[in-house]
Amino acid sequence: MPNDVKPNVAHAELIRFIDAAYRAAGIPQADAAKAAELMAASDISGADGHGVFRLPQYIRRIKAGGLNTRPVGWVGVRHGNHAGAAAVYAAMPLQHDMIGLYFAVGNANHLPPWGGVDMLLSTNPIAVAVPALAEPPLILDMATTVAAYGKVKVAAQQGKTMPEGWMIDRQGQPLTDPSRADDGFLLPIGGYKGAALALMFGLLAGTLNGAANGADVVDFNKDDTTPTNTGQAICVLDIKAFAEPLAFKRQVDAVIRQLHGSALLPGFDHIRLPGEDRHRRIEERRANGIPIPPELRAALDKLAADLHIPPLFG
Amino acid sequence: MPNDVKPNVAHAELIRFIDAAYRAAGIPQADAAKAAELMAASDISGADGHGVFRLPQYIRRIKAGGLNTRPVGWVGVRHGNHAGAAAVYAAMPLQHDMIGLYFAVGNANHLPPWGGVDMLLSTNPIAVAVPALAEPPLILDMATTVAAYGKVKVAAQQGKTMPEGWMIDRQGQPLTDPSRADDGFLLPIGGYKGAALALMFGLLAGTLNGAANGADVVDFNKDDTTPTNTGQAICVLDIKAFAEPLAFKRQVDAVIRQLHGSALLPGFDHIRLPGEDRHRRIEERRANGIPIPPELRAALDKLAADLHIPPLFG
């Protein structure tokens, strides 16, 4: 297959494949179905670094014993695992006329404290989802670093160079070769401010829950056996406790339209608000399927053979 | 007085002066005392752009009618006013073994949506305060812009040049002369990410509360008469709902010490964590008083004369 061909897979087909892989790895049926639905929700929305791209690694961890596949009762955010795109969780309350906030400790430390070189912090994401009325919802899902580490992994798998500003090496010089990612670390947004955001929300998502944060974060890219004890925090605000939901959503529409109506800086052709690209990708991928690059297809074909399940493209 | 002399004023003395000014402007006694205490809390902690520096403007608004000085009952965050440094509020729960979060809509729009030039967003601050045990508490108080607008005002008053990266003009070129601030706007941290943080937390602090956000934000630097309808959101987490507070605070100490122990990047001589400078400044200013630059002293002397109250330096 030529390298630039990316065959697409339908959303439902992708869910079936992920579900089969989880069940083949010993995950109970209901959990496999839920996990497949959530993972494919990342793919359909274009958060490719958090979707089926991660499946071979998740399965490797499950097989290696680093993940509890038979949780008893309700599992809190203390003993969580890598959970995919933050927006998936922040967006869940939207359909109930609620606002969602989601914070998590990342599953590998790629960020030193500001001014340091020891990687003691992760790319701890911040996600906030607010519903609108006629407009798509506003959904922010951002790493506190300039680039999420998933983007570095995607660049490495696709053999692409990273832009300057994503990573520096231990001498403070720009690092643009993703295969050299181990020689440096990610840069936080706004310098010390981004490092501080990662620290403070990491305390809320991790330390407060008795979950990993700091030196005890397990690098799940390299260690398949140690439980990650990932911490997540979800906060849901019921709009009607503050305002009439319809009026609120109409007001969110008004703010969105004000922002879209702004005159533009040279070099820009439109105002892009958080969640809009995601919304467009969901519509586009629902219609045309989810693109699976050749490198990923090869990894998933190998996974299917290992697990004795039908391949994604039958 | 030579221009580089900054006479210091004791904390208690500063509170008395601010209190007298508020009472002279018609604020009820208990409210004046509380407002003086909160404003001086900014000064003692080194948030100079939010302390007594703002008093002449606050008094001007009160006299001009843009501020309700006789609120009935409990005033929510819907009809709030400029409230000083965010850290003051986020830090309040600390003494109760609680974590504080504070979000607010700024009192003037200095930020366009990403890619735009129309100033429809403010520097909406994010503050998070987490207690430690033996270490000072971690307190983040940051504008979602590279620089808070208060810093631009301080630079203008002191006749200093701003570093590149704080502001750009409408052609996207760096703007470093603070007296030309009206010709441009602040830059968000991390480009589109900072603009999105300002938008999303502005929706929570402003729109959700029926407070100003977007085009209806009143520029309180230029308009003294229109009520600002400032929105603020405070979230308090009781640590004991999640963990044993002593054990939690001990764990926060451990994270702090890990971060301080990091090897350093070239050009750095220590790891600076959020709240540490604030903590040091509070101790230093408690001992030596609060520095009042000559330009500010002149403004406060004029204010005292206008209000027929004794000057700050008697």
Q: Which chain A residues contact residue B214 at CB under 8 A?
A: 254-255, 258-259
Inter-chain CB proximity B204 and A237 less than 8 Å: yes
Asked if pLDDT for residue B252 goes beyond 70, the answer is yes
Alpha helices (H) along A7-85? 11-24, 29-44, 55-64
pLDDT at A198: 97
- A195 or A51, greater pLDDT: A195
Chain B interface mutation, best of A97, A209, A244, A259, highest count of B Cβ atoms under 10 Å: A259
Sheet with strand A174-175: strands edge to edge: A174-175, A167-169, A184-186
pLDDT at A291: 87
Inter-chain CB proximity B271 and A210 less than 8 Å: no
pLDDT at A150: 79
Question: How far is the alpha carbon of B215 from chain A, nearest alpha carbon, in Å?
Answer: 7
CATH of domain A8-145+188-307: 3.30.1370.60
Average pLDDT, chain B: 87
pLDDT at B3: 45
> Token pair for residue A246?
């319809």
pLDDT tier at B68, thresholds 50, 70, 90:
low
Asked if pLDDT for residue A125 goes beyond 80, the answer is yes
Q: With the C-alpha atoms ordered A88, A94, A96, A101, is the resulting torsion angle positive or negative?
A: positive
Residue A153, class by beta-carbon neighbours within 10 Å (0-12 exposed, 13-18 middle, 19+ buried)?
middle
pLDDT at A72: 67
- Write down how long chain B is: 314
> Token pair for residue A314?
């039958």
Q: Which chain A residues contact residue B243 at CB under 8 A?
A: 208-210
pLDDT at A6: 60
> Token pair for residue B269?
């001589």
Q: With the C-alpha atoms ordered B12, B14, B20, B23, is the resulting torsion angle positive or negative?
A: negative
- A234 or A274, greater pLDDT: A274
Inter-chain CB proximity B239 and A130 less than 8 Å: no
> Which of A114-118, A149-153, B216-220 is the most confident on average?
A114-118
pLDDT at B2: 44
**How far is it, in rounded angstroms, from Cα B294 to Cα B310?**
17
Which residues 6+ apart lie within 8 Å of B122 measured at CB?
Answer: B105, B106, B107, B108, B109, B110, B111, B198, B202, B217
pLDDT at A205: 92
Determine which helix (DSSP H) or strand (DSSP E) holds A299, and give its type and residue range.
Answer: helix A294-307
Q: What percent of chain A has pLDDT over 70?
A: 92
Q: Does A117 touch chain B (CB under 8 A)?
A: yes
- Tell me if residue B116 falls in helix, strand or coil: strand
**How far is it, in rounded angstroms, from Cα A78 to Cα A73?**
14
Residue B230, class by beta-carbon neighbours within 10 Å (0-12 exposed, 13-18 middle, 19+ buried)?
buried
Neighbours of B297 (CB within 10 A): 18
Inter-chain CB proximity B116 and A263 less than 8 Å: yes
Residues 159-218 of A with CB under 8 A from B: 170-172, 189-194, 196-197, 199-201, 203-204, 207-210, 213-215
pLDDT at B10: 87
Inter-chain CB proximity A274 and B243 less than 8 Å: no
Q: Which chain A residues contact residue B262 at CB under 8 A?
A: 112-113, 116-118, 120
Asked if pLDDT for residue B178 goes beyond 90, the answer is yes
A225-256 residues labelled b (16+ CB within 10 A) or e (exposed): eebbbbbbbbbebebeebbebeebbebbebbb
CA-wise closest residue to B119 among B135, B133, B108, B130: B108
Average the pLDDT over B280-295 and give the result: 88
Yes or no: say if A286 and A45 are a contact pair by the CB < 8 Å rule.
Answer: no
- A295 or A82, greater pLDDT: A295
* Closest Cβ opposite residue A190 in set B189, B192, B254: B189
Average the pLDDT over A226-241 and give the result: 85
pLDDT tier at B71, thresholds 50, 70, 90:
very low
Q: With the C-alpha atoms ordered B272, B273, B279, B281, is the resulting torsion angle positive or negative?
A: positive
pLDDT tier at A249, thresholds 50, 70, 90:
very high
Residues 13-42 of A with CB under 8 A from B: none
Asked if pLDDT for residue A1 goes beyond 80, the answer is no
Residue A29, class by beta-carbon neighbours within 10 Å (0-12 exposed, 13-18 middle, 19+ buried)?
exposed
- Tell me if residue B184 falls in helix, strand or coil: strand
pLDDT tier at B153, thresholds 50, 70, 90:
confident
Asked if pLDDT for residue A68 goes beyond 80, the answer is no
pLDDT at B6: 60
Asked if pLDDT for residue A3 goes beyond 50, the answer is no
Lowest mean pLDDT among A274-283, B66-75, B154-163: B66-75
pLDDT at B66: 65
* Closest Cβ opposite residue B251 in set A207, A260, A266: A207
CA-wise closest residue to B314 among B16, B4, B6, B3: B16
This complex has an ipTM of 0.81
Query: Tell me: the pLDDT tens digits for B201-248?
Result: 999 999 999 999 999 998 887 888 888 888 888 888 888 878 899 999
Yes or no: say if B40 and B52 are a contact pair by the CB < 8 Å rule.
Answer: yes
Average pLDDT, chain A: 87
| Half-sphere exposure (Cβ direction) of A263: Cα atoms closer than 13 Å | 7
Asked if pLDDT for residue A79 goes beyond 80, the answer is no
pLDDT tier at B77, thresholds 50, 70, 90:
low
**How far is it, in rounded angstroms, from Cα A119 to Cα A218?**
12
Neighbours of B6 (CB within 10 A): 13
Question: How far is the alpha carbon of A198 from chain B, nearest alpha carbon, in Å?
Answer: 11
- Number of A/B CB contacts below 8 angstroms equals 192
Asked if pLDDT for residue A271 goes beyond 80, the answer is yes
Yes or no: say if A148 and A110 are a contact pair by the CB < 8 Å rule.
Answer: no
Q: With the C-alpha atoms ordered B292, B294, B295, B299, is the resulting torsion angle positive or negative?
A: positive
> Token pair for residue A138?
């506003």
Please name the residue that has the structure tokens 């009160």.
Answer: B62
Asked if pLDDT for residue B81 goes beyond 80, the answer is no
